[in-house]
Amino acid sequence: MTFPNHPDKYSVESLLRAEDIVGYRHRLGRMPNLNSPHAALFCLERGLPRRMRWRFPVRKAGSINADLHETRRTPLPVVILTNFGGGAPIVAELAEELAVMGVTRMLLMTWGGILQPDLKPGDIIVCDRAIRDEGTSHHYLPPEKYVYADPTLVEHLKNVLRQQGAAFSVGTTWTTDAPYRETLPEVQDYQAEGVKIVEMESAGLFTIGKVRGIQTASIVVGMDSLAHFRWQVPERLDLIQHSLEVVYAATLDVLGKA
């Protein structure tokens, strides 16, 4: 059976919507304390807001299936989400709710598995499209191989990284739900296609961007590697941690501007 399993999947409204959940939280008085949020950063490295608070002071703003922090000194406040686990389903759920709350720009920063031999741990990849090898996007959009990041947001990221003097590349990410089912034939095919990295969230976020009409993009820092058709891990994490800090600063720079 090919997806969708029901012929009316894309033509009817959902019985439960993000608007309903946000409205329910309002009625219960359980909304996070945010200052008219317009931008959000999904940060898979959960210790970064605390580690980088000397440069980007934050305050705890509550939670919605994620811990929410809000920046204090960016020109416009940015919501930073941490401690939400990982994967496209939770990112898409949170992105829907944030969109209802008024957020119009969302970035994701995470780490991923390197697929190209010329990439190394700590390399930064700005993702302009994602292969939809997860399930979430197929509940929203008819089957297609790719879903795309917002090109304007991608350009802003590239410009800020250049201004910071950071090395990076731009390309496709492979988003999967199943990290323990990344098979040799898939890796060989995607490597031949030039796919740079594999992770678990980007396609979910890009899909909500397309459905909700908001700007979304992602940056992935290379961590482990499948580029030589076996799993390899870095001996040191200092370059990766440095790149995550560079990416964190770049994303807040992009999101904190009007």
Structure tokens given for 134: 């997860």
Spatial separation of the C-alpha atoms in residues 97 and 140, rounded to whole Å: 15
Is 61 part of any domain?
Answer: yes
Token pair recorded at residue 108? 């994701």
Helix (H) or strand (E) holding 191, with range, is: helix 184-193
pLDDT score for 61 = 94
| pLDDT at position 188 | 98
Residues 99 and 18: beta-carbon distance below 8 Å: yes
CATH number of the domain to which 83 belongs:
3.40.50.1580
Q: 196 is in which domain, residue-wise?
A: 18-255
pTM: 0.96
Note the pLDDT of residue 60: 94
Does 128 map to a domain?
Answer: yes
Q: Does residue 6 lie within any of the structural domains?
A: no
The tens place of each residue's pLDDT in the chain, 258 residues long, gives 577 888 889 999 999 999 999 999 999 999 999 988 899 999 999 999 999 999 999 999 999 999 999 999 889 999 999 999 999 999 999 999 999 999 999 999 999 999 999 999 999 999 999 999 999 999 999 999 999 999 999 999 999 999 999 999 999 999 999 999 999 999 999 999 999 999 999 999 999 999 999 999 999 999 999 999 999 999 989 999 999 999 999 999 999 987
Q: What pLDDT does residue 180 have?
A: 97
Residue 8, in any domain of the structure: no
CA-only gyration radius of the chain, Å: 18
For residue 1, being part of any structural domain is answered with no
What's the total number of domains in the chain? 1
